[in-house]
Structure 1
């Protein structure tokens, strides 16, 4: 209990005081472009042995934390949870740029055979920037956190041979100047545990060096490795750079999609396969072999190769608890896996968890399709948001022109419902086995047509709130059901997230949050309209709280969503109850949302490390003073969305239409919006609650304007559809006959 209180106090301090007191770091989830660094990577000629005292402190810190059992994880238990047990020896083979389309029996026989006898999965290599170069990939393995050296990154530095070991010159520059404070954690932890390791190639040296840049045993080629070396050292790492070298220009990775033709890439793959085969041929039989395609090869991110050969792993999928996916892992997971397999305590600063063998039936073809799906979504996502923005703007312009003339009410209502059904259709399409862009587009349009037809097909079509209830209900139920079943609909969807991008792998994304909150609030106001009074207020509070818990708990893991959702629910419930909402109350609701999400985060932090979500890991970063970069990148990303040509037009036109329709109802919308509010005061409450959640969500989420724009894209068209329905209902209602006046009688004399 005392530990929980300390953690909660630290988190409250972070929220209230702000990030100004937190030191710089490069850890945390990737959110935007590469963190600027006006520094070069460590040179290959200068020498630096400064900071010995800091290294000693780091060793003591790792050892003391491991003994305390608070900030480190024991490797044996983690390895057991991974399903493979602790291995006698470990070999890490890194092939930067390798993806599943590269592997064939003819071109890469050694790697093909390795993956055939291994558990296999997709590797997301995203670090801090939009492109991960080999330097970033190996540095991330070294640090156990997403790390980057700055602009112009490419190949890792070539170490200077010193006896049987080697030294990476100016290594302390990474830690002391470039902000990579966790660099060398893997090597330092191994040294503190008395573990011997062998590095082959510059990347492997970077991964296994201690915090002074020293590598105990170093070779430039796997052909130099002797049997005696493998008997003495339980860990060997190999940098297979033959595939990535042709892509580098002056030791830098240019940001172009593809530099090599198919033939040149096959030639490079054959060289890489031969180098990997040279090491595989001399490894002892009890070696657990890890294979990682740990960098991009151009400006287009791909899902890379991840494989682990261990007893009982053949034919199974390979994933990790860090992604909540049985077939996807991230680079820091390899750091945790190496340490766990060797029985070494994993430092708390390592954000990865040991790789975990998943279900059977893993095939290379399945993983190739996963990358192809991610590429399709990535290529169409920008176009999709542009189309949605154009349709929204055109709709408001046409609706303004027609409604002020009181024409086209029925077509406008139909178009409004179809437009509101478009967002949820982008998730429902993943229920279909689409395999390319034409099927994806057809699926989204098909679901949109189906939802629209249902909205106007049943007896509810006659009720002004009927179509709104259908679309809002389908939206809320779809996203809530997705959270309950593992978020398979949001992954690789045009309004969700992709594993190749690496911003999120599971849970409730920011745009899905906006749609879930809006759909829930609007659907509950329909219930409140049908059952006014305490029953309606209870419906808003209970169903809203249920959706909020789904989004904020381990299933959704949406930090900012809870902060924004709580005020929206509270405002809606108060207005439905006929109460007024003051600025003080609104501020109290925001604080309540922050407290609730901090409680979720602290409870998650107290779980075992391999069961934590990013909420729990963020608490650890707050306590250790490493949360500044996460907050800073989120703020940068949020501000960037305010200039988005796809998102801001939706916000501007929707808000302008809504405000003008309320202030000048007869001129702007033939009284549609006031008619909707007059028909259902609860709908007004739901719309205000939606705007509250949308605005707060825009300010506290890195998606920024996307949150508010998608909330408006769902709510405002449904509001207009309801208002048109209310006007038509009023026009169709028979006017009571006015009784004829009694005939006048002559006055009596």
Structure 2
């Protein structure tokens, strides 16, 4: 006899109280800026600011012997790795200099550049280079300069969704001095005028006068774009020599920012950035844009310069944030620069490897789904001795192991970041072998657990717990596995530098909700919503806290999924009333997150708080446009989109058929049905809010669908089992997945010859579930 379901308002109230009860008391301490960000430098205002840029400058170009000036500057100053994302991929020198002067994503490549003469066909054995900077500069007088193509550049930015205003940095100060062609691009005002211009740094006395004419000076140290190591060394030495001349003429009480402002190859890389001046002694650079010690964005340089000069940052047109100083830098500069070089190599290697890894994962899982279809049809045996024979046990066991391994592939790819595979040759092969080895170990451990073999939901619970634990532990320890990881996020993309990524979010959502659904099956029906709420609340906090997951949109999405799971886990249909109350609870939790985030200082706000602030001051249009563009790109270019769509079709066309087994699994285990419904809702909302389209759903499907298929196979393997219930024997529900022959009285033992030769029947919450369809 079915038990009375818990009243729905009570279930939703428990969910909401669990979420809010944990979130509100911790808001004052947990919803703070990351511990690594120590805050602005005290008394950091300078009389002068000099920005010296060298396109292509990386940390492996700098050492004590060949570039002594850069080395000494890095020893006494603050350092970091610079992500040079712009509106053009890659950020070629023209784009980098324009982005620097605008404080926003800009694109200049191909606008107004003079055609190159005698262009040579590229050598396929050498890296593909960006076009050299070649801008028309007119000198109407002996003081400044004029860029005749600036009108076309401004028009190009209007076609982009970022709201970029070229020359915003120059417009924020009274006058700007530019030295060199790239500096002229950065210092030109929106109508093309450069206030003070020098084609090259003058001689000693004239240089001191030139650098003190304006409070802001921008200097082009040249480009490091050599195709061979020897060429790069010579160009880095030349840039260092110019920097030496700049240091000799530098005004007193000035702050110097040295940065690799652009890529010079077709592949994006991390570049060096150094700050030297009062208050910038030692430590790592960071900003609210990255939230990660040691990382800055190119768009942060303009707000940093204005902040040092005591000027207000025009937040409507500049998207970056001023740099701040953080602790944690090694005392040995060799070790610190080696870390920057290592981060650059890992980020570049991960972007290359991730493309084929996700396509391979999608193809493997699609192949498994195809192979399991005939097995599911054979497993669906009709009652009586005339039904088809069961599939071979060894084949079933093999497919179970393969499905388990497929679900563990993404957690294994995250763990693979512990091994420095990017430091060796044939990096893709090494990563593949490491990931395969970790997947094998996790699979062996999983299948040897007693709960895996004895319980129908054993594989679902174990795999989900592993997925949630891997991502959760990574978030608690600083998200180091996701940072520049194949299954994480790359700082070269310029969208995320800390917290949880889109792939990790999908894995975590699947782990948390399926773990909650599996454990809810073990408790009385009336206690299930509270258990789901408690587990879900812990997951929401891990995702939403800025010092951990740092994704308020992901926390909102997971809240919606948890509310829906809690509403459905006692059993029954998804009615409009349940859906409306679940949405109301999710909305209430969203309001709490929003209020907490929006009350933080602007430089400490998360993505949700910044968006609400922009919405209030009318500057949210570019953000919405960027979000829509990111969703479109992710939708049509990612292999996870293919996996998400194929998984959805497989669930609907195969597993939800009478012979697919998923309906039976849902009927026996209502919390699993609730968890799957909540998972789809959370992953879709999380992907849309994060600009990842179906990527979150694809990662969630890669983790959840194989083990759900395994569960469907197991319940189909017992579809023909029958029990005979004696009228004088009391019936008690069997526990999840236990063998009823071992736990029930003799009157409930299998009585038919066919059932006697079959595996132990699957049990559920009621005797009706044990007795088959």
Tell me, in whole angstroms, the C-alpha distance in 2 between the residues paired with 1:662 and 1:229: 74
Contact 1:393 1:649 in 2 (8 A): no
Picking from 563, 567, 576, the partner of 1:574 is 567
Q: Deviations over 1:347-400 (max 9, x none)?
A: 333332222233231522111111111111111001110110111011111212
Picking from 442, 447, 453, the partner of 2:444 is 453
Map 1:232-311 → 2, pairs under 5 A? 232-243=213-224, 260-284=227-251, 286-311=253-278
Per the TM alignment, residue 199 of structure 1 is displaced from its structure 2 partner at its CA by 1.7
Q: Verify: 1:481 aligned to 2:473, yes or no.
A: yes
Tell me, in whole angstroms, the C-alpha distance in 2 between the residues paired with 1:156 and 1:593: 54
Tell me, in whole angstroms, the C-alpha distance in 1 between the residues paired with 2:47 and 2:633: 49
Q: Verify: 1:143 aligned to 2:106, yes or no.
A: no
Q: Deviations over 1:700-731 (max 9, x none)?
A: 54322322222222112111223344456787
Q: Tell me, what secondary structure is at the counterpart of 1:547?
A: helix
Tell me, in whole angstroms, the C-alpha distance in 2 between the residues paired with 1:419 and 1:379: 22
Contact 1:79 1:354 in 2 (8 A): no
Of 376-385 and 279-288, more deviation after overlay is shown by: 279-288
Q: Verify: 1:205 aligned to 2:173, yes or no.
A: no
Gaps spanning 5+ residues in structure 2: where? 1-36, 114-130, 379-390, 722-738, 742-747, 754-773
Q: Deviations over 1:85-118 (max 9, x none)?
A: 3334322101111112222344433333333332
Tell me, in whole angstroms, the C-alpha distance in 2 between the residues paired with 1:688 and 1:186: 49
Cα 1:516/1:340, change in 2 over 3 Å: same
Of 375-384 and 234-243, more deviation after overlay is shown by: 234-243
Partner of 1:188: 171
Partner of 1:52: none
Partner of 1:680: 669
Q: Tell me, what secondary structure is at the counterpart of 1:204?
A: helix
Per the TM alignment, residue 159 of structure 1 is displaced from its structure 2 partner at its CA by 3.9
Picking from 610, 627, 639, the partner of 1:634 is 627
Cα 1:681/1:592, change in 2 over 3 Å: closer
Partner of 2:319: 351
Of 284-293 and 586-595, more deviation after overlay is shown by: 586-595
Work out the number of aligned pairs and report it: 641
Per the TM alignment, residue 82 of structure 1 is displaced from its structure 2 partner at its CA by 3.1
Q: Deviations over 1:429-484 (max 9, x none)?
A: 23344444255334322332232233223332222222221211121232233333
Tell me, in whole angstroms, the C-alpha distance in 1 between the residues paired with 2:472 and 2:523: 23
Map 1:407-422 → 2, pairs under 5 A? 407=392, 408-422=395-409
Tell me, in whole angstroms, the C-alpha distance in 2 between the residues paired with 1:189 and 1:644: 39
Partner of 1:13: none
Contact 1:454 1:470 in 2 (8 A): no
Partner of 2:700: 711
Of 645-654 and 213-222, more deviation after overlay is shown by: 645-654
Tell me, in whole angstroms, the C-alpha distance in 2 between the residues paired with 1:463 and 1:315: 57
Q: Verify: 1:501 aligned to 2:483, yes or no.
A: no
Tell me, in whole angstroms, the C-alpha distance in 2 between the residues paired with 1:692 and 1:680: 19
Partner of 1:28: none
Tell me, in whole angstroms, the C-alpha distance in 1 between the residues paired with 2:715 and 2:552: 38
Q: Tell me, what secondary structure is at the counterpart of 1:347?
A: coil
Q: Tell me, what secondary structure is at the counterpart of 2:40?
A: helix
Contact 1:122 1:306 in 2 (8 A): yes
Contact 1:123 1:293 in 2 (8 A): yes
Tell me, in whole angstroms, the C-alpha distance in 2 between the residues paired with 1:283 and 1:739: 95
Gaps spanning 5+ residues in structure 1: where? 1-77, 245-258, 741-749
Cα 1:235/1:650, change in 2 over 3 Å: closer
Partner of 2:749: 736
Contact 1:96 1:295 in 2 (8 A): yes
Cα 1:657/1:186, change in 2 over 3 Å: closer
Q: Verify: 1:533 aligned to 2:516, yes or no.
A: no
Contact 1:119 1:317 in 2 (8 A): yes
Picking from 104, 114, 123, the partner of 2:82 is 123
Q: Deviations over 1:662-719 (max 9, x none)?
A: 45433xx5xx434533442211221222223334445554322322222222112111
Map 1:26-425 → 2, pairs under 5 A? 81-82=40-41, 85-149=44-108, 155=133, 157-161=135-139, 162-169=141-148, 171=150, 174-175=153-154, 178-179=157-158, 181-191=164-174, 196-223=175-202, 225-243=206-224, 260-284=227-251, 286-311=253-278, 313=280, 315-349=282-316, 350-358=318-326, 359-361=328-330, 362=333, 363-405=336-378, 406-407=391-392, 408-425=395-412
Tell me, in whole angstroms, the C-alpha distance in 2 between the residues paired with 1:700 and 1:308: 35
Contact 2:100 2:261 in 1 (8 A): no
Cα 1:591/1:443, change in 2 over 3 Å: farther
Q: Tell me, what secondary structure is at the counterpart of 1:291?
A: strand
Contact 1:79 1:337 in 2 (8 A): no
Q: Tell me, what secondary structure is at the counterpart of 1:677?
A: helix
Q: Deviations over 1:270-293 (max 9, x none)?
A: 333332222122224543221110
Contact 1:469 1:523 in 2 (8 A): yes
Q: Note the aligned Cα RMSD (angstroms).
A: 3.2
Partner of 2:123: none
Per the TM alignment, residue 641 of structure 1 is displaced from its structure 2 partner at its CA by 4.2
Tell me, in whole angstroms, the C-alpha distance in 1 between the residues paired with 2:567 and 2:627: 32
Contact 2:571 2:670 in 1 (8 A): no
Tell me, in whole angstroms, the C-alpha distance in 1 between the residues paired with 2:561 and 2:261: 42
Tell me, in whole angstroms, the C-alpha distance in 2 between the residues paired with 1:226 and 1:617: 42
Partner of 2:540: 548
Cα 1:189/1:593, change in 2 over 3 Å: farther
Tell me, in whole angstroms, the C-alpha distance in 1 between the residues paired with 2:228 and 2:240: 18
Per the TM alignment, residue 176 of structure 1 is displaced from its structure 2 partner at its CA by 6.2
Contact 1:676 1:724 in 2 (8 A): no
Contact 2:54 2:260 in 1 (8 A): yes
**Normalised TM-score (structure 1):** 0.78
Cα 1:636/1:372, change in 2 over 3 Å: same
Per the TM alignment, residue 169 of structure 1 is displaced from its structure 2 partner at its CA by 3.3
Per the TM alignment, residue 588 of structure 1 is displaced from its structure 2 partner at its CA by 6.7
Contact 1:463 1:725 in 2 (8 A): no
Picking from 721, 728, 735, the partner of 2:710 is 721
**Normalised TM-score (structure 2):** 0.76
Cα 1:352/1:702, change in 2 over 3 Å: closer
Q: Verify: 1:427 aligned to 2:414, yes or no.
A: yes
Contact 1:601 1:616 in 2 (8 A): yes
Per the TM alignment, residue 411 of structure 1 is displaced from its structure 2 partner at its CA by 1.4
Cα 1:181/1:644, change in 2 over 3 Å: closer
